[in-house]
Amino acid sequence: MAVKMIKVHGSGNDFYLLDQTQFPEPLSDADLKQLAINICKRDGAGLYDGADGVLVVDKSEHSQVLGRMRVINADGTEASMCGNGIRTVARYLGTQNSQEAFKVQTMYADLKVQAVADLAENVPAFSAEISPVSFDAKTIGMHANNEAATIINEKIPALSADLKFSAVAVPNPHLIAFVDHDTLVGPELGRIGQWMNDGKNVIFPDGVNVSFVEVLGKNAIFVRTFERGVGFTNACGTAMSASSLMYVLLHQESTDFNQEIKVTNPGGMVKTVVHQGADEEYWMELIGNATFVRIVTLPVESALAADYSEASATETGEQAAYENFVASLTTAK
């Protein structure tokens, strides 16, 4: 049986989008894990240019929800949420159902999504709610600083003698440090990211997304992320959202809630807005591209066996438009 997938990305954070409803019987969890491990490999070993993961779309029984999204990382593990991925899923579900504003079911919450104005010609964009937020060490899976209940802008001596970190779940766990430019592009992020995701460390035994953030100006930040289950990535939507939250909380002298923040990353740019609700509940809007790169078809049995000889692809033309958009950002600096 043939399987159709769409190669998609948000800010260069790329995935294969797989709609389970195309099958008489959905693929099993074991098959989804194997599929992701196979097709996401880079350097010519995967399907075309590989991917950061697989976005699995399925039906949802929840009210006002058009579909359910699961996120299978390139290593076969499952993430609770993906901010860049949900925008592309939102575009897919919205197109399929002729709707522009609705909810998408994720592991821990039904999140609001909405079509917004294109970022540029042929660069479609969506806004997605990022929540829930928690600073609780148990929720994050953190064991640091003598089992501290929270860590916000504090040193973790076991990780670094100089850097201050904040730990937050959105709901994916994130460890964030605000740094200067040299530290941003230096080796320290890779060292900490690899260590905290080696499956052996006692600080984050289940791993954590690690981000370094440089403040570029008022309501402007750059985020570089080592993503759990992926490694260095062009962009991580929940990392950019978590970084925006910490920027607002730690830099009240230059920003505040409900203000638009420009977040650049190695793969492009998004916008975020941090909101504070009742009882200091936080949630973020993540606004960015939802690009469809190509439509890929191949026998599902072949994909599960890592045989791509019968794969065929149809390019959409949207990637060239996105690259022109990113180039315009560089030119505008």
Residue 217: half-sphere exposure toward Cβ, Cα within 13 Å: 4
**Alpha-carbon span 174 to 280, nearest angstrom:** 19
In the numeric block, the tokens 């990113």 are attached to: 326
Helices 83-97 and 237-250: crossing angle in degrees, nearest 10, is 120
Class of residue 141 by CB neighbours under 10 A (exposed 0-12, middle 13-18, buried 19+)? middle
Spatial distance between the Cα atoms of 161 and 145, rounded to a whole number of angstroms:
13
Q: ω before 171 within 30° of 0 (cis)?
A: yes
Amino acid in position 317: G
**Single-letter code of the amino acid located at 87:** R
DSSP letter at 249 equals H
The Cα 162–Cα 144 span in angstroms is 16
> Within 10 A of 24 (CB to CB), how many other CB atoms are there?
5
By CB atoms closer than 10 A (0-12, 13-18, 19+), residue 176 is: buried
Instruction: Measure the CA–CA gap between 98 and 22, rounded to whole angstroms.
Output: 18
Point out the residues that are catalytic. 82, 236
